[in-house]
Amino acid sequence: MRRLWPGLCLLFFITVWADPPKKGVDRWHVKTTLDSAAEHKKPAAVKSDDLITLAEPDRHKYDYKEYQHNQSHQDDRMRDPASTALQEGDLVSTTGYVQLIASEDDGDYHIQVGPTREDRTRCVIVEVPRSDFLDAPDAKLGGLDALRAKLLKNFGTPGKTDFSGSGTCVKHPTKMKITGQLFYDVHHAIHPGPRGKGLCDASHNFWEIHPVYAMTFAEKKTGKPEVACK
């Protein structure tokens, strides 16, 4: 019995001190709600390549620092009513290859999507929040739990109850159609640096789809040879 104590103590330590996911702060309302002006419009079809190179919002129209920090602007999206170009808050749909999924501290599933199966270096970041972390209920976001369970079933590591915090590499990248809200990550625009995990270089691409509310397979899970993760 004495031999069990070190293992039991370690298990107790991990259980007590492991930090559970917590709601984020930075523009959290924008990340977990859909814009009422765009919500009932048909999502715009956009190539994942085009999302990677999509132009930034006009710095003369929007004060990035204020949009990041000022709580009075936490519900604001960087939208120009007169513009016909894609902008934050628009619903978009894209197709790409799921390369990596990570479970982040704020509860989001961080998903890296590449334009091709083999290229892990270029990616669009899309995020699926937890339903219990939403700021407000929304019919379109009602299927988040089922979507997260679907991703874990299809891309998770057997025997694991969640994705790795550092990122679970999808060894056989699979093509999926992804639908959600276009979101501009102001924090990373102000403080540029590594955003992707693994081989993905998203350090100069600050657009995301966040929140994602639908992901459907655009092909059967591939049986092709593995694509190197690192």
Is residue 137 a part of any domain in this protein?
A: yes
Would 155 be classed as within a structural domain? yes
pLDDT value, residue 74 = 72
Range of the domain at 109: 22-75+86-217
pLDDT of amino acid 90: 96
Strand, coil or helix: 46: coil
Q: pTM of the predicted model, to two decimals?
A: 0.89
Neighbouring-strand partners of residue 114? 97
Nearest to 229 by CA among 183, 188, 170: 170
- Is residue 69 included in any domain, yes or no? yes
| 173 contacts: CB under 8 Å, gap ≥ 6 | 97, 98, 99, 114, 117, 118, 120, 222, 227
pLDDT in tens, 107-137: 999 999 999 999 999 999 999 999 999 988 8
pLDDT digits (tens, 9 = 90+) for 25-67: 889 999 999 998 888 889 999 999 999 999 999 888 898 888 8
Q: pLDDT digits over 158-207, tens only?
A: 889 999 999 999 999 999 999 999 999 998 888 877 788 999 988 888 99
DSSP designation for 56: P
Residue 133 lies in a domain: yes
Confidence class of residue 18 from pLDDT cuts 50, 70 and 90?
Answer: low
Contact in structure between 32 and 129 (CB atoms under 8 Å): yes
Q: What is the CATH number of the domain that holds 104?
A: 2.40.50.800
Q: Which residues of 83-109 are buried (b: 16+ CB within 10 A; e: fewer)?
A: eeebbbbbbbbbbbbbbbbbbbebbbb
